[in-house]
């Protein structure tokens, strides 16, 4: 890691505060279609398919953009890349209010999606300011910026009612542009960027930054994030429809129960970072996966009627998860998924301290794609099998594969390091071999 001897606590808190606030604003912009999308659909007379593509486009581009934004952050510094990313997104957000054709709306949505890429820029920038044993807590606090989605859900409707959706988009654009300017003026240059210029080194090449992506371990981390983040985003959008269909609830009630799942999935990410620092990210991931397996197994069980041939007559009874129990399970699932999101990103600066941007970008991209692919898959499974709980069966399978893969990989790695090592030592987060810095950074 970079030298932090000249970094004060005030510098650390400044970097964390500015990046967390900026990420919150970006996340609010990223989810703006959840509010204004319905109005755009009405104004343009879009079909359901056209509307689905429009709403999904920011999610898709926000995921894909993470890998190259991560690389650029490692090359040119988070202070510069974060500022440019926010300004570009602000322009795209303003464009929403000026266009009237579906094709140009899609182009603007591509630009708005860049707001989702802000996550990896903030992770790469923030992680540089903290010691290894405090990075988990810092990145967990940064991840709380996901509450930007709640800001939009609560605040944007009032803006739409008061000013119209076009003006609401303009207000969001101005707020993001002002945030970008404030971040650039108040944030200090990345420690690694300062050291590189002082030593006269060239930026690390893209090839060197992408080199760790050949490691299967990186893709294993991405699989974890596919569930804890992609699955979280997918269930947050799917649960209202599930409650209406499976339990016959009104949409407003279903939305509130879905919010009970979403809230702990965002707020407790900071707790997950602290736990990862204190007990190790592996221990947190084990807890996340084990609890998730139990929750999803119960949630997967469809409501079933049994007929037992009795002595005198058939005995009928029904087994299924009642609404109260199901809601409690979703809250618990959202809580552990929040811990898991922080634990995944605790791993990255420990194992790849010189490639946080590229590795974190890939992991974030795969996680984001989970939020894009899984809701579609849920619908396909419902059509194929006609069972509401089929989506949770799929989630259970994903977690089971991830758990087995993680445990086998950890055991093999630890046995190579310490033959005959006791099982309780498998929770250690110490890398197999320290990662050497890129050649251009030495």
- pLDDT score recorded for residue 422: 46
Give the lowest-confidence range in 98-107, 194-203, 389-398.
Answer: 194-203
On the question of pLDDT at 419 being above 70, the answer is no
- pLDDT score recorded for residue 342: 86
pLDDT, tens only, 288-299 = 999 999 999 999
Residues linked to residue 319 through DSSP beta bridges, in sequence order:
304
On the question of pLDDT at 441 being above 60, the answer is no
CA 381 to chain centre: 24
What value does the mean pLDDT take over residues 56-65?
A: 83
Percent of the chain with pLDDT over 70: 87
What value does the mean pLDDT take over residues 424-435?
A: 49
- What domains sit in the chain, N to C, each tagged with a CATH number? 1-203 (1.20.1250.20), 212-442 (1.20.1250.20)
- pLDDT score recorded for residue 424: 44
What value does the mean pLDDT take over residues 237-255?
A: 78
- pLDDT score recorded for residue 432: 45
Top mean pLDDT of 42-51, 76-85, 193-202, 258-267 is at 76-85
What value does the mean pLDDT take over residues 110-119?
A: 90
Give the lowest-confidence range in 114-118, 126-130, 334-338.
Answer: 126-130
- pLDDT score recorded for residue 320: 73
Give the lowest-confidence range in 41-50, 179-188, 370-379.
Answer: 41-50
On the question of pLDDT at 211 being above 80, the answer is no
- pLDDT score recorded for residue 378: 84
- pLDDT score recorded for residue 120: 85
What value does the mean pLDDT take over residues 366-375?
A: 83
pLDDT band at 169 (very low <50, low <70, confident <90, very high): very high
pTM above 0.75, yes or no: no
* Three-class secondary structure assignment of the chain: CCCCCCCCHHHHHHHHHHHHHHHHHHHHHHCCHHHHHHHHHHHHCCCHHHHHHHHHHHHHHHHHHHHHHHHHHHHHCHHHHHHHHHHHHHHHHHHHCCCCCHHHHHHHHHHHHHHHHHHHHHHHHHHCCCCHHHHHHHHHHHHHHHHHHHHHHHHHHHHHHHHCHHHHHHHHHHHHHHHHHHHHHHCCCCHHHHHHHHHCCCCCCHHHHHHHHHCHHHHHHHHHHHHHHHHHHHHHHHHHHHHHHHHCCCHHHHHHHHHHHHHHHHHCHHHHHHHHHHHCHHHHHHHHHHHHHHHHHHHHCCCEEEEEECCCCEEEEEECCCHHHHHHHHHHHHHHHHHHHHHHHHHHHHHCCCCHHHHHHHHHHHHHHHHHHHHHHHHHHHHHHCCCCHHHHHHHHHHHHHHHHHHHHHHHHHHHHCCCCCHHHHHCCCCCCCCCCCHHHC
Neighbouring C-beta atoms of residue 44, cutoff 10 Å: 15
pLDDT band at 423 (very low <50, low <70, confident <90, very high): very low
In terms of pLDDT, which residue wins out, 84 or 263? 84
Residue 233 to residue 374: CA distance in whole angstroms: 9
The token pair at 193 is 């960027």
Top mean pLDDT of 93-97, 353-357, 396-400 is at 396-400
Give the lowest-confidence range in 86-90, 202-206, 344-348, 351-355.
Answer: 202-206
Percent of the chain with pLDDT over 90: 24
pLDDT band at 210 (very low <50, low <70, confident <90, very high): low
In terms of pLDDT, which residue wins out, 394 or 361? 394
- pLDDT score recorded for residue 186: 94
In terms of pLDDT, which residue wins out, 346 or 115? 115
């Amino acid at each position: 890691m970079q030298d932090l001897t000249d970094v004060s606590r005030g510098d650390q808190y400044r970097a964390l505060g500015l990046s967390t606030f900026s990420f919150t604003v970006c996340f609010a912009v990223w989810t703006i279609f959840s509010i204004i999308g319905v109005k755009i659909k009405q104004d343009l007379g879009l079909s359901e398919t056209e509307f689905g593509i429009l709403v999904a486009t920011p999610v898709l581009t926000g995921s894909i953009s993470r890998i190259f934004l991560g690389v650029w952050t490692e090359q040119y510094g988070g202070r510069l890349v974060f500022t440019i990313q926010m300004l570009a997104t602000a322009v795209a957000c303003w464009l929403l209010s000026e266009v009237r054709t579906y094709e140009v709306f899609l182009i603007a949505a591509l630009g708005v999606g860049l707001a989702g890429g802000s996550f990896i820029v903030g992770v790469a920038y923030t992680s540089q300011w903290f010691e290894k044993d405090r990075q988990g807590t810092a990145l967990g606090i940064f991840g709380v910026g996901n509450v930007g989605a709640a800001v939009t859900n609560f605040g944007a409707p009032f803006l739409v009612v008061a000013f119209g959706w076009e003006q609401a988009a303009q207000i969001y654009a101005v707020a993001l542009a002002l945030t970008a300017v404030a971040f650039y003026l108040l944030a200090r240059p990345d420690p690694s960027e300062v050291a590189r210029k002082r030593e006269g080194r060239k930026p690390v090449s893209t090839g060197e930054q992408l080199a760790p992506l050949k490691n299967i371990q990186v893709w294993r981390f991405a699989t974890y994030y596919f569930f804890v983040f992609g699955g979280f985003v997918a269930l947050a959008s799917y649960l209202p429809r599930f409650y209406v269909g499976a339990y016959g609830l009104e949409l407003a009630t279903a939305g509130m129960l879905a919010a009970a799942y979403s809230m702990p999935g965002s707020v407790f990410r900071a707790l997950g970072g602290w736990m990862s620092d204190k007990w190790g990210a592996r221990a947190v991931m084990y807890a996340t996966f084990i609890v998730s397996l139990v929750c999803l197994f119960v949630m997967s069980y469809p409501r079933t009627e049994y007929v037992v041939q009795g002595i005198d007559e058939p005995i009928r009874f029904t087994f299924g998860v009642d609404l109260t129990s199901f809601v409690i399970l979703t809250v618990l699932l959202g809580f552990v998924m929040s811990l898991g999101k922080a634990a995944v990103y605790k791993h990255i600066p420990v194992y790849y301290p010189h490639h946080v941007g590229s590795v974190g970008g890939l992991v974030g991209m795969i996680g984001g794609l989970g939020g894009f692919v899984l809701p579609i898959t849920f619908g396909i499974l419902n059509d194929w099998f006609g069972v509401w709980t089929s989506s949770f069966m799929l989630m259970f399978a994903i977690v089971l594969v991830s758990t087995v893969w993680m445990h086998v990989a950890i055991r093999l790695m630890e046995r190579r390091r310490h033959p005959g090592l006791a099982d309780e030592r498998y929770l250690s987060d110490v890398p197999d071999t320290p990662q050497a810095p890129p050649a251009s950074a030495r």
